[in-house]
Structure 1
């Protein structure tokens, strides 16, 4: 019985690690918009000198990409949580899912 429960707990981690690979694109887009917009206005980052198109173009690109990925990510994780577990507490599950999804992005930053 314990092996079955242990196996079930690794499935969401593996799925979210795989979802983290395409998540690199929306996470990078969010960082790019923030670093050239509000964070640059605060003086925390410097603007890209070649960025002269304005932020509206980036928001037109950013919003659909993040909305599509966020919707897909939420639906997959809600389905996995209902399918794999009877009634777990929600906080550790979602924390592990978010961490596993962000892991490929931070590994890519560490390598690059």
Structure 2
């Protein structure tokens, strides 16, 4: 086994926290589509009264943005998991990385 230093376990958390800053845009776009589409149909949210273009336009915008960010996020985390950590358990790693990525979005909601 390799000699692991304790700071190496904080590298994925820091990188995912920094990735969470640009992730605010795709997360917001997903929430906007859900709140004006399926969640509004269920009666859980109310639609934006100015939104009359339909959902297809939003899906054309949202799917490439979320797909590009998701691909980048997955590639960075797969690379980090192989290079930085020796043999981490897969489930806690991905849970911590996902939480660290969502943290800036929820901090922004809390401040705003």
Give the CA RMSD over aligned residues: 1.1
Match of 2:81 in 1: 81
Match of 1:97 in 2: 97
**Unaligned stretches of 5+ residues in structure 2:** none
TM-score, normalisation: structure 1: 0.96
Moved more, 41-50 or 83-92: 83-92
The answer to whether structure 1 residue 20 and structure 2 residue 20 are counterparts is yes
Match of 2:64 in 1: 64
Describe the superposition over 1:7-56 as per-residue Cα deviations: whole angstroms up to 9, x where unpaired: 00000000000000000000000000000000000000000000000000
What's the offset of the Cα at 1:86? 1.6
Which aligned segments of 4 or more residues in structure 1 are displaced greater than 3 angstroms?
none
What's the offset of the Cα at 1:88? 1.0
TM-score, normalisation: structure 2: 0.96
Higher helix content, 1 or 2: 1
Distance in 1 between residues matched to 2:19 and 2:70, nearest whole Å: 11
Q: What is the correspondence of 1:2-41 to structure 2 with a 5 Å cutoff?
A: 4-41=4-41
Describe the superposition over 1:52-109 as per-residue Cα deviations: whole angstroms up to 9, x where unpaired: 0000000000000000000000000000000011211101100000000000000000
**Unaligned stretches of 5+ residues in structure 1:** none
Distance in 1 between residues matched to 2:99 and 2:28, nearest whole Å: 16
